[in-house]
Each structure stands twice: as structure tokens, then as C-alpha cells.
Structure 1
Amino acid sequence: MWCEEKAANEMKDKVYWELPDGTNAIEITEVPSYKCNECGIVYQTDEQVKEIEDQLFLIDTKQLEKSLTYQELMEKPRLLKRNYFDFG
């Protein structure tokens, strides 16, 4: 995707994400990711990034652990049903 190579392998990776209010960052492990066979870059799709950002926007981030798995993050109860501020 980034270097325009067609082959990338699915994998799970660890990412660090700044919370929407900018007060802290968390570690998210086991995030669905891709690794390019050509250049070695590891990345998440735009859809995956949006899903993580929406979830962080919709949950009580003050209760989050400093490190959690992707699945644990996505299972956190939401304060709102959807991101009403996403007009895209």
C-alpha cells in the first residue's frame, strides 16, 4: 500500500495511540496489520485506523489501561452508539 508493492502479509502488531483528548497514549497489542514483503513497513488499513479512533472517541478513556489488546479495546462499552461528529 505504501510503496505500491502488491504483496503484503496479514499479521498482528503492537501500536501506540494518543487518546482523543491528548492527555495520554496507550499501547494496543494484537492489532490486525499488514507487513510489506518488499520494504518491510508494517501498517494498518485506513478502515482499521478509523475503527480504533472511533472506538477511542466513543468510550470512557479515563478508565483505560495503559496497555490492552485490540479485542479488549473493541469490547469496551460505548458511551454513544456512533461517532456523530464524523461527517465523512
Structure 2
Amino acid sequence: MPPKRRAASLELTIWHELAGHAIMGTALGLCAAFVLAFVDKFGIARLIAHDLEPHLTFAVFVGMFTLVFAVGATLTGFVFTMMDKR
């Protein structure tokens, strides 16, 4: 019985690590999207402001940026976790 409990514990640890990486990626993507949208260094804020639906454009921009960072951080965390467990 102890090997089964150990495997279940290891699997739970992997899920916790992946959740942590996903949360960190989401936070980083959200911060990066807000900085790009509000600091008009690259002209993104101007493009969003002159769109027909600026609120929807802003929401899509922030959502997609956040999603890309979250998925990237989760996949990277998965690879690092699998390499560490080996």
C-alpha cells in the first residue's frame, strides 16, 4: 500500500506545481498587457482608443496576452517538473 500513497502524493504535488506556474503566468501576462496598453510607448493605446469598440478591443487584447503567458508558463512548468521528477 505505501507505494500507491506515494504515487498519489507525487501526482498531487505535480498538479499543485502546475497550478502555481499557471497563476504566475497569468499574473505576469496581465501585468505585461496592462503596461503595454496604458504606457503608449509602442502606440498600442492609441490603436485601442481609435477602434470602433475600444472596450472590447482592450478586453480581447488583455485576455489573449494573459492566456498566452499563462499557457506558456504552464507548459514550461510541466517540462521543468517532469525533468525534475526524473
Give the TM-score normalised by the residue count of structure 2: 0.28
Higher relative contact order (CA 8 A, sep 6+): 2
Give the TM-score normalised by the residue count of structure 1: 0.27
Q: Structure 1 or 2: larger strand share?
A: 1
